[in-house]
């Protein structure tokens, strides 16, 4: 039981660290907007939230007040120590800045000292300058990040290429097949272009636990420049050629998504009401349910694009069918030797592999 308590303590400290990190990010925004560190209205909401959550779990109000006070005081201390990043005197344009990853890019670049401008058909993003004229925005930028849906990424890149930008241009598409042609064309034209793929969502913390792929589109210097933009994140960098990126992603994204979507559909069509069983921690069903729910929170169009726009998806479908047949045969065999062999083979892979 003490070991379980120690595990919970580590989880608590990890969540406190994440909360303080987010508070520091709020401090950066306050500093940039010249707002005071103390915000009584926000602090009252924190107290109210803790009182409500603790009451629902039969935890004393005095404990709730004390915990909220400790977190607020430490958050204020962190925010008070925050200083606005030194200006780089460079402008970053985020095309598609109103999207989830677009907003993440806006915050990231501003925290690095860039002046950030947004261009997006969806309209302005609160707290950031907005430029509806794409041509003007591109010509005035030092860095152009394209963070639009994959279905329109190629058209946006072609439009930017026609403007012959002097800026460093990169996309963050999850798949490169839809954008490979315009990216290579831009590279052949001598433009500073690279292809980037942050392999995480906008809520990843810490960033140092994430991975970012970089693909050369014909300008190796541009790849180095793109890496320097993201080096402060602490994320791991992975070089992947445009030729092999999507095959790589068919396993990393396509296969994992299909497994979770298959699990979710099977459970949803089962004759039992299993929804109430997803909460008990530590069970395989619980972990899969949490992962599936997180995936299903993503826009359905994005989930479909990751399957439909990857030319390697049919190969993944065939592989899944073959592997299911392997497990079927191993399960129905007279003894358990084949099932054990398949299990040990998979175990050896994960034990010896280096996770990304």
Q: What is the separation, in whole angstroms, between the first and last Cα of the chain?
A: 33
How is residue 284 written in tokens?
């395989």
> What confidence category does residue 351 fall into, taking pLDDT thresholds of 50, 70 and 90?
confident
Asked whether residue 108 carries a pLDDT value surpassing 60, the answer given is yes
H helical segments located in 123-219: 134-139, 150-162, 180-188
pLDDT over 50 (residue 354): no
Model confidence pLDDT, tens digit, residues 304-341: 999 999 999 999 999 999 999 999 999 999 999 999 99
User: Can you tell me the distance from the alpha carbon of 80 to that of 105, in angstroms, rounded to the nearest whole number?
Assistant: 24
pLDDT of amino acid 273: 80
pLDDT at 25: 85
Least confident span in 121-125, 174-178, 287-291: 287-291
Q: Residue 195 above 70 pLDDT?
A: yes
Beta bridge partners, 92, equal: 116, 143
pTM of the model: 0.83
As a whole number, mean pLDDT of residues 169-174 equals 98
pLDDT computed for residue 87 by the predictor: 83
Q: How far is CA 187 from CA 13, 100, 191, in A?
A: 47, 28, 6
- Alpha-helical runs (H) found in 269-336: 284-296, 300-308, 313-332
Model pLDDT, residue 353: 56
Domain 91-240 is found in CATH 3.30.420.40:
no
What pLDDT sits at residue 35?
Answer: 87
Q: How confident is the model at residue 356 (pLDDT cuts 50, 70, 90)?
A: very low
Give dist(CA 216, CA 23) in Å, integer.
36
Contacts of residue 283, defined as CB under 8 A and 6 or more positions apart, other chains included, come to 277
Cα–Cα distance list, 324 to 102, 315, 318, 330, 340 (Å): 38, 14, 10, 10, 15
Q: Write the CA distances from 223 to 158, 199, 233, 241, 297, integer angstroms.
A: 19, 17, 16, 11, 32
Of 187, 129, 184, 138, nearest in space to 159 by CA? 138
Average pLDDT over residues 140-163: 97
Residue 234 is predicted with a pLDDT of 93
Q: What is the pLDDT of residues 2-35, one digit of tens each?
A: 999 999 999 999 999 999 989 988 888 888 778 8
Nearest-angstrom CA–CA distance, 194 and 186:
9
117-143 CB burial, b ≥16 within 10 A, e <16: bbbbeeeebeebeebeebeebbeebbb
pLDDT tens for residues 222-265?
999 999 999 999 999 999 999 999 999 999 999 999 999 999 99
pLDDT tops 50 at residue 355: no
pLDDT, tens digit, for every residue of 260-310?
999 999 989 988 887 766 555 558 888 898 899 999 999 899 999 999 999
Element spanning 61, H or E = helix 61-81
Residue 84 confidence class, pLDDT cut points 50, 70, 90: confident
Residues in contact with 300: Cβ distance below 8 Å, sequence separation at least 6, in sequence order: none
Confidence of residue 204 (pLDDT cuts 50, 70, 90): confident
CATH architecture of 2-81: Up-down Bundle (1.20)
The per-residue pLDDT for range 31-74, each reduced to its tens digit, is: 877 889 999 999 999 999 999 999 999 999 999 999 999 999 99
Q: Give the DSSP letter of residue 84.
A: P
349 sits in which H/E element? helix 337-352
336 φ, ψ to 5°?
Answer: -95, 10
């Amino acid at each position: 039981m003490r070991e379980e308590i120690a595990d919970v303590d580590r989880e608590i400290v990890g969540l406190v660290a994440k909360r303080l990190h987010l508070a520091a990010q709020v401090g950066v925004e306050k500093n940039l907007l010249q707002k005071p560190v103390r915000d009584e209205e926000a602090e009252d909401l924190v107290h109210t939230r803790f009182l409500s959550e603790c009451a629902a779990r039969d935890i004393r109000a005095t404990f709730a007040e004390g915990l909220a006070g400790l977190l607020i005081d430490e958050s204020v201390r962190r925010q008070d120590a925050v200083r606005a990043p030194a200006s780089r005197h460079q402008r970053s344009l985020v095309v598609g800045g109103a999207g989830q990853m677009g907003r993440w890019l806006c915050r990231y670049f501003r925290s690095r000292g860039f002046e950030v401008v947004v261009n997006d058909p969806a309209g302005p993003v609160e707290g950031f300058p907005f430029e509806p004229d794409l041509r003007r925005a591109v010509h005035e930028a030092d860095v152009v990040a394209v963070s639009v849906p994959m279905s329109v990424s190629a058209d946006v890149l072609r439009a930017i290429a026609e403007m012959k930008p002097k800026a460093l241009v990169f996309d963050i598409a999850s798949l490169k097949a839809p954008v490979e042609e315009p990216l290579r064309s831009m590279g052949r034209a001598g433009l500073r272009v690279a292809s980037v793929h942050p392999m995480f969502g906008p809520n990843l913390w810490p960033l140092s636990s994430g991975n970012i792929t970089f693909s050369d589109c014909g300008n190796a210097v541009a790849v180095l420049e793109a890496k320097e933009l993201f080096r402060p994140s602490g994320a791991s960098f992975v070089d992947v050629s445009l030729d092999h990126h999507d095959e790589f992603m068919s396993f990393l994204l396509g296969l994992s998504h299909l497994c979770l979507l298959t699990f979710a559909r099977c459970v949803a069509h089962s004759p039992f009401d299993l929804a109430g069983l997803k909460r008990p921690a530590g069970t395989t069903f619980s972990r899969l349910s949490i992962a599936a729910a997180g995936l299903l929170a993503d826009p359905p169009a994005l989930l479909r694009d990751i399957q439909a726009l990857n030319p390697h998806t049919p190969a993944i479908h065939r592989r899944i069918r073959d592997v299911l047949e392997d497990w079927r045969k191993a399960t129905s065999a007279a003894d358990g030797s084949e099932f054990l062999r398949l299990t040990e083979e998979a175990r050896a892979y994960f034990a010896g592999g280096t996770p990304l």
